């Protein structure tokens, strides 16, 4: 199974992450599963969102090592630099 991991960051857009989860993580009746979907953050724990709540992300950057595909949904602002830890993990 192809493993897709979404890397989220504060303040995470719930819309962009929701699209990734819907496409790669939602099982469909009668449709074979081709993807395993997971979410990680640079620092595991609560990640604030644009919707005003924090989502709990239990996985850290080590989850990227097992990914076949890495998604970065809604990195904002787009000019925000990657931290050295994130850059190494990617």
| Cα distance between residue 8 and residue 29, in whole Å | 28
Q: 3-class SS at 41? A: strand
Check residue 76 and give its pLDDT. 76
Q: Per-residue pLDDT tens for 3-47? A: 999 999 999 999 999 999 999 999 999 999 999 999 999 999 999
Element (H, E) at 6: strand 2-8
Q: What's the structural domain count of the chain?
A: 1
Q: 3-class SS at 77? A: coil
pTM for the model stands at 0.92
Contacts of 71 (CB under 8 A, 6+ apart): 4, 5, 6, 7, 20, 24
Check residue 75 and give its pLDDT. 82
Percent of the chain with pLDDT over 70: 100
Check residue 78 and give its pLDDT. 83
Mean pLDDT, range 53-73, rounded to an integer: 97
Check residue 79 and give its pLDDT. 86
Residue 71: domain span: 2-89
| Cα distance between residue 16 and residue 38, in whole Å | 14
């Amino acid at each position: 199974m192809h493993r897709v991991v979404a890397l989220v960051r504060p303040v995470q857009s719930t819309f962009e992450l929701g699209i990734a989860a819907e496409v790669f993580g939602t099982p469909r009746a009668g449709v074979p599963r081709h993807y395993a979907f997971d979410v990680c953050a640079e620092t595991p724990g609560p990640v604030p969102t644009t919707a005003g709540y924090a989502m709990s992300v239990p996985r850290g950057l080590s989850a990227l090592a097992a990914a076949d595909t890495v998604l970065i949904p809604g990195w904002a602002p787009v000019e925000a630099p990657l931290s050295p830890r994130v850059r190494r993990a990617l």
